[in-house]
Each structure stands twice: as C-alpha cells, then as structure tokens.
Structure 1
C-alpha cells in the first residue's frame, strides 16, 4: 500500500503547478480591451498642460508627446535590431507610456541613490571635521557635540526608505 501522505503531497504539488500555469496564462494583457489608441485619448493638446509635461519641463526635460501609435522601440536611442527589451505588448502608444513609467521610476531611483551617496559622503566629512576640531574649550565642545548630533540625525534620515504611491497602470487578464 503506497504511503497516503506521499500521494496527497504529490497531488497537492500537481495542483500548485497547474494553478501557477493558469496564472501565467492570465498574466498576459487582456487583448481587445484597449481598442482606442492611447494617443487619441491623451491628445497632444491635453499633454501640454498636464502634470506629466509640467513636471518634466521643470527638470529641463522636453516631455515626449504621444502623437501617434508608435511604441517605445521607435523612440529609443539604442539599436534594437536583434531584440526587443520592451516586450511584445509594448508596440503601441499605450505600451510606450507603460515603458516610460517604468523607466522614469528607475531613473528617479538611480538619481535618488546618487544624491543619497553624495549627501552621506559630505555629512561624514563634516563629522570628521567636528571630531578633528579642538574641543578643549567647553563652549566649542558643546557646539561641536550639538553639530555632531545634528549631522548624525541627518545620516539617520538618509538610512530610511521612502514610498511614493501611484495609481495602478498595469493590468492582466
């Protein structure tokens, strides 16, 4: 007689495998739902006064407008003859917008990392200056300790992660 526990475990694993395969099939973007091209809904006239364009222009970046239904591969600066890193569902203006969202988030994260590293370096340099200063005078020692506490508080703030919320822009079937 086979071990009932082993057989039950085998059936459970098979069900989990089937469930995972179903989820993969459903993870594909729903075809036929988004019929009207994105650029027709978010017209260039709408884009010019939008928060999207204003935010980029404040940083000195000319906002790319959605004027037709071309996907991100038509706008990339890299030669993509051999592969498409954007995925099959990104060949439209909607796909381009979704790729842009991801890229802008990555760019913001990369810039935040660089600013964080710079500020840490500078704060640690100021802490080293405070430690190397003459602390024989009680007034100077008190001021130096206060400055060191302030700088350490700044370092503690840089240790934290921040979270920004966005409306969902990705959907699956």
Structure 2
C-alpha cells in the first residue's frame, strides 16, 4: 500500500514540534496564579494607572473594559466567535479569573492593533502608488509644473520608504506559563 504523505523535512518536523509546544503552553494556567491573593478586579479599584488604559481607548472611541468581578475571558467573549465549546476552551487556554481576562485582552488588543496597522499601511501604499501612476500619465511639458511634480514624486517615495519600515514597541511580559 502506497502512502500519500511525503516524509517531512527536518525544518517541517521542528516547526510542528514548536507548534505543539506553543499549543501546550497556551493550554497551561499562568505559573503566577497560585501566588496571586488579591483578585485582579479588586486590585484595579486602587490602581491609579488604570486611567492610562481607559483614556487612550476612550480617545479611540472604544468603550474601556470594566472589571467588576472575577469572571474570566470565557464569560465575556461573544458566542458567535466560536463554533464549539472546544474552540472556546482552546482560545482561552488556562486563563482564569479577571487576571486571565486581562491577559487574554492584552494579546487580542495587540493582534487587533497589528492587523489594523497592516490595513492602514496597505491602504496608504496603494493610494500613493495610484498618485504616482497619475503623475506618470500627466502632461509635464511646463518646466515649472514638472519641477513641482518631481518634488511630489520624491516626497511620495520618501513616504513609501517610511511606510516600508516596522515599528517596535517594548512591552512588559504579562504571562509566565510553564515556569
């Protein structure tokens, strides 16, 4: 009997191993949980820095989350996001309580911000490319107009160069799984 699957390369085997290890880590509870005595939602009642979270969200027109009790992320996620209870369990792994909700929220906000940055970047680059094509098709027989347009081309290329770079932000580690 012939096998329809080809042997995996060393790189593919390593990639699958890494994926399995990451899935195992996601399913684990945070190693710090057993030492946390005050629930996170109680801590927030006295944390003066909480407004540093709510203000930027409010400025973006996003309703800041409220942590009124110790319910975890599963209690807040929309049902439509998951096909099965297993999908929901897998998405939230070992995250528990209000601290688990905050931890999951951090990752999801980073994911959303990253995707929004890609969308905005793609939009701007496409619009700049359209403008360059318009300039190429334009009649540039007037020397003064040609000079102004060439300055625009240089400026657009500088903007595109800036948009081709990545932004790095340092974040404090918020999870300690498998430690």
Alignment TM class, shorter chain as reference: 0.7 to 0.9
TM-score between the two structures when normalised by the length of structure 1:
0.77
Residues 106-134 of structure 1: CA deviation (Å, up to 9, x unaligned): 11011111111110111111111111111
Alpha-carbon distance between aligned partners in 1 of 2:47 and 2:30, rounded to the nearest angstrom: 26
Compare CA radii of gyration and give the structure with the larger one: 1
Alpha-carbon distance between aligned partners in 2 of 1:47 and 1:73, rounded to the nearest angstrom: 27
Q: Is the 8 A contact 1:68 1:93 kept in 2?
A: yes
Deviation at 1:153, TM superposition (A): 0.7
Q: How does 1:1-173 map to 2 (within 5 A)?
A: 29-30=30-31, 31-43=33-45, 46=47, 50-78=51-79, 82-83=85-86, 84=89, 85-88=91-94, 90-172=95-177, 173=179
Q: Is the 8 A contact 2:29 2:96 kept in 1?
A: no
> What secondary structure does 2:85 align onto?
coil
Change in Cα spacing, 1:49 to 1:167, as seen in structure 2 (3 Å) is closer
Q: Is the 8 A contact 1:47 1:53 kept in 2?
A: no
Other-structure match for 2:13: none
Q: Is the 8 A contact 1:39 1:66 kept in 2?
A: yes
Change in Cα spacing, 1:113 to 1:164, as seen in structure 2 (3 Å) is same
Aligned positions, number? 148
Deviation at 1:36, TM superposition (A): 1.7
RMSD: 2.3
Query: Structure 2: 5+ residue runs without aligned partners?
Result: 1-20
Query: Structure 1: 5+ residue runs without aligned partners?
Result: 1-20
